[in-house]
Chains A and B, each alone.
Chain A
Amino acid sequence: MFLLVFLPAVLILYYALPQKMCNLVLLLFSLLFYAWGEPIYVCIMLFSTAFDYTNGLLIEHYKKKDRHKAAKVVLIIDLAGNLGILGFFKYTDFLLESVNSITGANLSLLNIALPIGISFYTFQTMSYTIDVYRGIVPAQKSILNVATYVTLFPQLIAGPIVQYKTVAKELEHRRVTMDSFGEGAYRFVIGLAKKIILANQIGSLFTTISGLEELSMASAWLGAIAYTFQIYFDFSGYSDMAIGLGKIFGFTFLENFNYPYISQSITEFWRRWHISLSSWFREYVYIPLGGNRKGMKRQLLNIMIVWFLTGLWHGASWNFVLWGVYYGVLLMIEKLFLLKWLEKIPRVFRHAYCLFFVVIGWTIFSQTDFALLGDYLKAMFGIGVTLVDSTFLYYLSTNLVLLIVLVLCSMDYKSLIKQYQKVETFFYSEAADVIRIIVMIVLFAISFAFLVGDSYNPFLYFRF
């Protein structure tokens, strides 16, 4: 649908109409794109836009008149508004449920459907007003540009979280050439293939395994590893598609993933995973809280706060909080002593250590029900289950090729080939470019075939 109707239409209008109309076309199509799945919630997004636009102007106005307090008040109102919307739609029922289960009360839930992408765009709009307040960017005078920024469809539903300052200039003036278009198209196809071919395929393995009545230890690990790959290729696939589409329309979005599974510590992992989220939290929460400048105790507290919030951001459920806190604790331990110890052990152990905790982390992430999570973790540690069964052998053997491909695709091949002069020369040669074009065509065709022929196409971020 998106590929065959929406994209052609937006491309035609975007390039046929004069440059002045660019943002308008993007805005209208973004609204249409969002309204496609969320016809009613589009209003929230429009409100958000008007709200942040006005507040941005007010903040700048007061700052120019040296009324810093007033500017601060507006900022606080703005943040309260944004967080209020996010909190209301995302966390009300979660809060009620938690109160119910703790106090035994019986408050009825509101059953609000979560507007898709709300966690992404509220974080984006906050980056705008905060940066206006900090004087990093001037307030945007045109409401059209603000609306275009908020609703921009390439990254609307699954990120990355594009900070306003990174696209402020491009919102007003950008140039698309055939070159950047081609680069964007290539990147988009790579992302599409990651999502449709790799993530969905390995995801169906995880779905099968987590639905098994009898789990062996080996199957439990296979399932957890399957999910580990699914979430990476799914999420980074979406980011690639967003970055590619951004390029097609003349925007440069920052990278969101940098081969996270090659990391050798949890600290490194979080520098490589969902970069736009961790940098948002660093910039707008961790550093304002004092970061590492106020002594070790305060720093550890800050880490905990940030990771509690990071967990909560991923979904209104306690397992996400647990997952965030789990990483908070791991990062504190690494900060306190583990990183120094890790430096002394061979690389392969560091890598194994990191992946072990990442896989356990995704297991926590994947099960919103604590009872199920408990059973699954028990199975992973061999408690009360058989070691290997024929079900495992079947799913391992029929997914082995896919798993190997996933491992290969998780590697940072560009750094690897630096050690081999000849390979590197070839990699940047014209022959390699020809191969790239062929790869692009083949990947597009296969992804398309899967889109048509496979009914399994999950959307993982409906909780975000």
Chain B
Amino acid sequence: MGRGVNVKITKRIMSVVFLLAVFGISAGSLLLPDKEFSENENRYLAEIPQLSVDNILNAKFQNGLEEYLKDQLCFRDEWISLKTVFQRAMGKTDIGGAYLGKDGYAFEKITKEDIDEELLQKNISYVEDYFAYCSDNIDASHLNFLLVPTSGLVLSDKLPEHAPLFDQNRYIEEVKAAMKAYTFIDVRESLLEHNEEEIYYRTDHHWTSDGAFVAYGQWCKSQGLPTPKIEDYKVEMVTDSFRGTLYSKILNADSAYDSIKKYEKTERPGQFHVVADGKELEGLYDYGKLEEKDKYLFFFGGNYGEVVITNSNPKETGKNLLIIKDSYANTFVPFIADDYDHVYMIDLRYSRADLRAYLAEHEITDVLVLYNISNFATDKNIFKLRGRG
């Protein structure tokens, strides 16, 4: 600075500004009460770490206190939005692991480096082995695999220009080739045909009910069922103030809001009895979750190890479907639940069931593996399909 600052008064003002800033923020953070949970970021905030000699010597206490201060800072959300505003002003479009694209669409930033091809190959072989086991009692045509592409593929025109993304077409083709003997439901084309519609959320990585409905059409075709018509459903918007996981990464104050839709058949709507991990749910939907931040949990209230859906208004199909799935299935299952006596949803992340024994126990007639491609490529729980045998 040297000669830069001429007037004494300038330097004095600078002292005062600095002291006010440091002491002001410090006092503010100390005086305001602690928050336990950040809805915006959808995570628990740090609490004061435990004080002990061990914790001090291995610096755990110090690091914990640092986290605590960072999390409990006054105007935390405002500081974070300021950061995002600044980054965007500088032309950055990848923020916090998400891309900020056109028309308010955000995307997961998944690049080649995030995909472990070895793991993907292993996961493919686990499913192959499982289907081979299933085919002892179930006809191969009833063993289905549906891979959902991420929004980056379907809405690629809304991505920032040149944004690097993993080549999911290649991976989907690989899975498709491995599933030749079974039914692979390729939903890419139908989704692309509808890519002007709201088939993915803008602020969340999941597909919407509209997107799942498009895939349901494709599913019906593969199962030899009549093509579902939108006129046969009552579509209801249950909320229009949803900001999802991608918003939590970017935290841009001017982010769009998404709406969540619920489809219900107008004719002979199913009456569902839903039990999740042994606990009875109100139904397919959890209206309470619409009051919370992560409103995607509206579908089934979230993910469970096992969800059993019994159709108490049955068409007496005589069919029981087992779905091995991730969270993308939660919007999809309400559509197919009508077509089976029982639907068993297994989320391998939370399940400890022996899925080979499961087939006979529940008289499974159809199996569907439904995953988002990036989840399928990175999930380390698919090995559980080997069962305990």
Interface residues of A (CB under 8 A from B): 1, 3-5, 7-8, 11, 36-40, 178-183, 185-190, 197, 201, 211-214, 390-391, 393-394, 397-402, 405, 414, 427-430, 432-433, 436-437, 440-441, 444-446, 448-454
In the assembled complex, how far is the CB of residue B277 from the closest CB belonging to chain A, in whole angstroms?
Answer: 33
Which residues of B in the span 1-15 have a Cβ within 8 Å of any Cβ on A? 1-8, 10-15
* A residues in contact with B59, CB < 8 Å: 36-39
CB <8 Å contact, B5 and A433: yes
Cβ contacts under 8 Å, A187 to chain B = 1
Complex contacts, B11 vs chain A, CB 8 Å: 178-183, 186
**B91, A399: Cβ atoms under 8 Å?**
yes
Question: Does any Cβ of A come within 8 Å of B103's Cβ?
Answer: no
Which listed segment binds A: B20-28, B141-149, B216-224, B334-342? B20-28
| CB pair B7 A433 closer than 8 Å | yes
A182 touching B10 by the CB < 8 A rule?
yes
Given the interface contacts A183-B1, A183-B11, A186-B14, does A448 sit within 8 Å of B25 by beta carbon? yes
The answer, yes or no, to whether B82 is at the interface (CB within 8 Å) is yes
Q: Which stretch, B64-72, B196-204, B316-324, touches the partner chain A?
A: B64-72
Query: Closest 7 CB pairs between A and B?
Result: A182-B11, A185-B18, A182-B14, A453-B83, A394-B162, A453-B80, A449-B82
Q: A428 vs B93: C-alpha distance in the bound complex, in angstroms?
A: 38
| B123: interface (CB < 8 Å) | no
Given contacts A1-B66, A4-B25, A185-B14, contact A394 B161 (CB under 8 A): yes
B92 part of interface (Cβ distance < 8 Å): yes
A437 close to B10 (CB less than 8 A): yes
Contact with A along B363-389 (1 / 0, CB 8 A): 000000000000000000000000000
Decide if B80 touches A430 in the complex (CB within 8 Å): no
Q: A183-B14, A186-B11, A449-B79 are in contact. List 8 more A-B contacts (CB 8 A).
A: A1-B70, A4-B69, A186-B14, A213-B112, A214-B112, A390-B162, A449-B86, A450-B86
Residues of A within 8 A of B94 (CB): 398
The smallest beta-carbon distance between A403 and chain B, in angstroms, is 10
- Central interface residue in A1, A393, A428, A441, by most chain B CB within 10 Å: A1
Interface string of B250-264 (1 = CB under 8 A from A): 010000000000000
Please give the distance in Å from B58's CB to the nearest CB on chain A.
8
Does the CB pair A8–B23 fall under 8 Å?
Answer: yes
Let me know if A5 and B69 touch, CB within 8 A: yes
Interface range, B side:
35 or more
**Does the CB pair B160–A453 fall under 8 Å?**
no
A399-B92, A428-B4, A449-B86 known; A8 and B18 CB under 8 Å? no
Instruction: Please name all residues of chain A whose beta carbon is closer than 8 Å to the beta carbon of B234 when the two chains form the complex.
Output: none
Closest chain A CB from B131 CB (angstroms):
31
**How far in angstroms is the closest Cβ of chain A from B6?**
6
Main secondary structure of the interface of A (DSSP, over half): helix
Q: List 12 A-B contacts (CB under 8 A).
A: A181-B11, A185-B14, A186-B5, A390-B162, A397-B161, A398-B93, A401-B90, A432-B4, A448-B79, A449-B86, A452-B76, A453-B84
Tell whether B238 is near chain A: CB-to-CB under 8 Å.
Answer: no
Residues of A within 8 A of B65 (CB): 1
Q: In whole angstroms, how far apart are the Cα atoms of A37 and B61 in the complex?
A: 10
Residues of B near A40 (CB, < 8 A) are 57
Distance between B43 CB and nearest chain A CB, rounded to angstroms = 12
Closest Cβ of chain A: how far from B57's Cβ, in Å?
Answer: 5
Quote the shortest CB–CB distance from A183 to chain B (angstroms). 6
Minimum distance in angstroms from A233 CB to a CB of chain B: 15
How far is the CB of A306 from the nearest CB of chain B, in Å?
30
Q: Are B66 and A436 in contact (CB under 8 A)?
A: no
Q: How far is the CB of B94 from chain A (nearest CB, A)?
A: 7
Q: What is the chain B residue whose CB lies nearest that of A243?
A: B1
B interface secondary structure, majority: helix
> Which B223-237 residues sit within 8 Å CB-CB of chain A?
none
Chain B residues whose CB sits within 8 angstroms of the CB of A8 once the complex forms:
22-23, 26
- Assess the B4–A436 pair: CB atoms within 8 A: yes
CB-based nearest B residue for A430: B7
* Chain B residues with CB below 8 A from A449, complex form: 79-80, 82-83, 86
Please determine whether A1 and B69 come into contact, CB atoms closer than 8 angstroms. Answer: yes
A427 and B17 contacting across the interface, CB-CB below 8 Å: no
Q: What's the least CB distance linking A229 to chain B, in Å? A: 14
A181–B13 alpha-carbon span in the complex (Å): 10
Q: How far is the CB of B326 from chain A (nearest CB, A)?
A: 25
CB distance from A196 to the nearest CB of B (A): 10
Chain A residues within 8 Å of B90, by CB: 201, 401-402, 405
B12 engages A182 (CB within 8 Å): yes
Q: Which residues of A contact B66 (CB under 8 A)?
A: 1
Q: How many Å lie between the Cα of A231 and that of B316 in the bound state?
A: 70
Instruction: Determine which of A37, A398, A440, A452 lies in contact with B70 in the assembled complex, contact meaning CB atoms within 8 Å.
Output: A452
CB nearest neighbor in A for B56: A39
B79 proximity list for chain A (CB < 8 A): 448-449, 452-453
In the complex, residue of chain A having the shortest beta-carbon distance to the beta carbon of B162: A394
Closest Cβ–Cβ distance, residue A368 to chain B (whole Å): 20
Measured CB to CB, the nearest residue on chain B to A394 is B162
Q: Which residue of B lies closest to A452 (CB)?
A: B79
Instruction: List residues of B (98-130) whose CB comes within 8 Å of A's CBs.
Output: 112-113
Provide the residues of chain A in CB contact with B10, threshold 8 Å.
Answer: 182, 430, 433, 436-437
Are B6 and A394 closer than 8 Å at their CB atoms? no
Q: Please tell me if the beta carbons of A182 and B112 are within 8 angstroms of each other in the complex.
A: no
B163 at the interface (CB under 8 A from A): yes
What's the Cα separation between A213 and B1 when bound, in Å? 43
Q: In the assembly, what is the distance between CA of A118 and CA of B17, in Å?
A: 34
Report the Cα distance A11→B87, complex, angstroms. Answer: 32
Residue of B nearest to A179 (CB): B11
In this assembly, does B276 line the interface, its C-beta being within 8 Å of a C-beta of chain A?
A: no
Most buried by B among A11, A178, A405, A432: A178
Contacts of A446 on B, CB cut-off 8 Å?
82-83, 86
Closest to A247 in B: B1
When each residue 28-66 of chain B gets 1 if its CB lies under 8 Å from chain A and 0 otherwise, what string results?
Answer: 010000000000000000000000000011110010011
Residue of A nearest to B82 (CB): A449
Cβ of B80: which chain A residues have Cβ within 8 Å of it?
449, 452-453
Residues in B whose Cβ lies below 8 Å from that of A391: 162, 164
Q: Which residues of B contact A453 (CB under 8 A)?
A: 79-80, 82-84, 251
Q: A178-B11, A402-B90 in contact; A428/B69 too (CB < 8 A)?
A: no
From residue 138 to 177 of chain B, which have CB atoms closer than 8 A to chain A?
160-164
Task: Report the minimum CB–CB distance from A302 to chain B (whole Å).
Answer: 34
Q: How far is the CA of A322 from the CA of B303 in the complex (A)?
A: 54
Interface residue? B73 (CB, 8 A): yes
Task: Report A-chain residues with C-beta under 8 Å of the C-beta of B7.
Answer: 430, 433
Task: Write out the residue numbers on chain A whose beta carbons fall within 8 Å of the beta carbon of B3.
Answer: 428
Residue of A nearest to B76 (CB): A452
- Complex interface: chain B residues within 8 A of A399 (CB): 91-92
Kindly name the residue among A11, A178, A182, A405 whose own CB sees the greatest number of chain B CB atoms within 10 A. A182
Docked pose: A230 CA to B360 CA in angstroms: 61
Task: Point out the residues of chain B lying under 8 angstroms from A39, CB to CB.
Answer: 56-59, 62
Which partner residue on chain B sits nearest A4 by CB separation? B26
Give Cα A39 to B83, complex, Å. 33
Q: Which chain B residue has the least Cβ–Cβ distance from A432?
A: B4
Known contacts A4-B22, A183-B11, A402-B90; is-contact A394 B160 (Cβ 8 Å): yes
Whether B91 lies near A436 (C-beta < 8 A) is no
Q: Report the separation of the CA atoms of residues A15 and B21 in the bound assembly, to the nearest whole angstrom.
A: 18
Quote the shortest CB–CB distance from B99 to chain A (angstroms).
Answer: 10
Residue from B11, B19, B69, B161 having most chain A Cβ neighbours under 10 A: B11
Q: How far is the CA of A189 from the CA of B1 in the complex (A)?
A: 12
